[in-house]
A and B are shown apart, each in its own frame.
Chain A
Amino acid sequence: MPLTVEEIKFNHDTAAATVDAFNIRLDENKLIEPPEWKRGVSVCAPDSRAAYSIRTIGKNVITIQARFKLTGVALPATREIRAMRVDTVVPDAKPLGNVAPTFVKFDAAGDSGWITFKLTAGTGSYVRMKDIKWEWQSRPDANSLWKPFTTTAHRIYIVLTIPTAPWVQTPFDIGNLQLPWATALDYACCWAYSSSNVTEASGLITEHVYALGPSIVTYDCPGGGASHYSFPDFDLTAFLDRLAGGPGNGVYVNCSDCATITSSFANLVGANLWQSRMGWGFDLNVMLGIGSTVWETCCGWGGFSYHEVAWIGSCLESNPIWDACLQVDANINTGPPRLPVLPKNQVFSDYRKLLVPLAGQAACAAQPATRTRRPIV
């Protein structure tokens, strides 16, 4: 094996993300530090993860950095190196495409140092998670044939913008749990797959969170609608454990949990949602709570002490909401048949007409002072 790829950096500038990947961590326990790919350590695509922002990259050419080792030949030496996507037959397939050919000089010890390569394709225009494979090829000069020498696999996340709060980019260190989690990007990019704007992405994530019921989660009727994953912070570790088939914090959720999950996952792909409440103490129309197939006034209680949703802007009555906790009856004020609708990008004052009997609207006021983005823990 005379030529080897030693390491690859996708996030080679941790202070910017205009031509490279942005800062992420794997989960609660591990930071994803460049180089993301290391020979002998990174085997399958999830062993080497990188995330890119469509808006931040724009039309810039994405670059990576790689380091090589050459042995068994007279040194110093030069090789032309490139990598071709082998997970697809589409030429220059997005995201990232191929690694453009570059001449690489090897010193007397056979080390190349870090070499910057241009990639032949950008991010594409929509949210996705893609496992890619590059076959690395080299040749001694431009007149020789390319010869493959290794293949590397990588998991690439494409989001609309750099994740918004509670997610942050700095400080890029192990103690910062608010760096975007790759294990959450696995779900967020899958749920929001193909969306090219934040409204669409938020809607898809709302649908997927609601669809977790009843098999993964269900509304906490027995426990009085208590919070299980969002009090006082978003226990993302527990929620991911639940999604992966573990116990997590159990099967029950309430509205604060759903609002927190929806907004945190939507913001991970670039939305800008909040968690905010309405209240206090109001009657309800019949609905389908998450995990339920029975039209009732949420567990038969008749009312809520409060309700919480994912909300945009100042979280006022004129701002749209996304509610993954329940479906309302769009025909509630006009008569049967019932028409279940999951509230997505619906102006609060319109949503309230479906959630709350018309006579009781005043008790269900937007409470923008409760607007928050719970920290990730």
Chain B
Amino acid sequence: MANDIVQSLIDRYGAKEWLEPEARDVNVLAWRYVPLRLEGKWRQARVRVRERPAVRRGSAIESIAPSAVRITDSVWQAGDEDAPMVHVTTFETASRAEARAWLLRTLAEFQAPNLERSDLGEVAFVSEGHAAGAFVRGNVVFFVRNAGRELTPIKPILKSLDATLAEEPKRFKRPLDIPTPSGKAGKATILELPAPDVSSWYRIVVRGAEPRIEKGRTVLIAPAGTANVTVVQESAEGAAGTKLTVEFR
């Protein structure tokens, strides 16, 4: 029965094409993501961050994405209580594969019979009329929906959220002191990052390696060769960052 349910979701959303992550030239990873800002007129009304443990014996729906996940819920208002409001939920997983499973899990929360594919992120879906949508980028799923009676188009918000993760900054406000690891080909190489405080988070943009989170640490996995790694610490004060060249032998 549980497999039938998962299969029906895979069929409905064409997930056979995207549930297994495709190889990409540029991979991104968020670590301890916190929603600091939303581009435009938005003011944060509430925010909540929590760690959700892995589910061992859950329902058929839970079994779609049983992995541990870091969840943020933030509500943003554009003015007074009658103004547009959006609700953004993020699921930060350990890997791209887990994020894809969480995207399918997210799509299982839409009662409408049809969602449209969109070209945002790595894989994205939006509701008819574009008042809600979800996409995956790297190890994070963003789930955005209108939350107020006055509606706002969701696609520009999805696009700006995607940019906060995927864009490679040309320069940084402050340098970030990160030691360059020596990579071991085919093995998880730890990228030592200082633990961020509650109001900052890291994003890692990598060419030539796959970033993941293993046992609470950021790691890089790559075959023999060179990986170019950009590490950015985002905070309310602006981005601090550095660029590393990691040799995998």
Contact = CB atoms under 8 A, between A and B. Distances in A.
Contact of B112 (A248, A251, A305, A372): A305
Interface in A342-377: 367-372, 377
B19 interface: no
Interface residues of B, number: 46
15 contacts: A224-B115, A224-B127, A225-B112, A247-B85, A248-B75, A251-B149, A252-B145, A252-B146, A281-B113, A304-B111, A304-B113, A305-B113, A367-B60, A370-B59, A372-B59
Interface string A9-52: 00000000000000000000000000000000000000000000
Nearest to A277: B61
Contacts of A107: none
A326 to B, nearest CB: 11
Contacts of B112: 224-225, 299, 301, 304-305
B50 interface: yes
B50 A302 contact: no
Interface string A310-331: 0000000000000000000000
A340 to B, nearest CB: 20
Given A222-B129, A222-B151, A249-B73, A305 B12 contact: yes
A254 B108 CA distance: 12
Contacts of B12: 280-281, 305
Contacts of B151: 222
A224 B132 contact: yes
Contacts, number: 131
A238 interface: yes
A337 interface: no
B156 to A, nearest CB: 16
Interface in A178-234: 218, 220, 222-228, 231-233
A140 interface: no
Q: Determine which residue in A235, A248, A255, A305 has the highest number of CB atoms from chain B within 10 A of its CB, and name it.
A: A305
A87 interface: no
A226 B88 CA distance: 12
A256 B8 CA distance: 18
Interface string B137-161: 0000001011111010000000000
B109 interface: yes
